[in-house]
A and B are shown apart, each in its own frame.
Chain A
């Protein structure tokens, strides 16, 4: 199975900061990379699909980039509601899709 590794595992930031989370695949996955946000006690929510396409209804401060093995999720200006855990997911090696271990974004 393709291994997805996120960095950092946790991150402290302040409202208004620009934040970048990285996801690395153990082999090339082209642009088959998706990002989710999960708040405590809630279900994950799709943010970005196909590496850089913004899901409908998701604020434009979220953006994704990358291809091959290295991908990033960027939040341009952190808002209070953005403090959550973020997961990447590869959809290249189907049906054996895999998720990253998560990045917890905390308030500084």
Chain B
């Protein structure tokens, strides 16, 4: 089955760090760019960041709201994408979705999401 499964969410204090994982199955993970999209409680969708496939350099892009604090990486041998979140703020509280990028900057496969709550 083609799917993405996120893990690693939870409750964390402001200023601390958390790493999310996204495990892919059912497709050739290394062929695709991957993005993270988040959704604050009761709010809309916000693109967080993106990592290109190794064929396109494996480079990353980030939203201004997280640039310098969040880092996306990937391990193609394990079919996992990571979102390292540092210096967390209360406004980072959201469900974080891992998504597969189609090649044209739309997202054709989504995980179920993992909730990150930043609170003291």
Contacts and interface: CB of A to CB of B under 8 A. Distances in A.
Interface size class of chain B, counting residues whose CB lies under 8 Å from the partner chain: 10 to 19
Interface stretch (B10-18, B23-31, B75-83, B97-105): B97-105
B50 A55 contact: no
Contact of A91 (B37, B105, B111, B112): B105
A43 B110 contact: yes
Contacts of A34: 106-107
Nearest to B62: A95
Interface residues of A, number: 23
A73 to B, nearest CB: 14
Contacts of B107: 34, 36, 44, 46, 89
B104 A44 contact: no
Interface of A: 32, 34, 36, 42-46, 49-50, 55, 87, 89, 91, 94-102
Given A50-B104, A97-B47, 19 more contacts: A42-B112, A43-B110, A43-B111, A44-B107, A45-B110, A46-B106, A46-B107, A49-B104, A50-B106, A87-B44, A87-B45, A89-B106, A89-B107, A91-B106, A95-B61, A95-B105, A96-B63, A99-B46, A100-B44
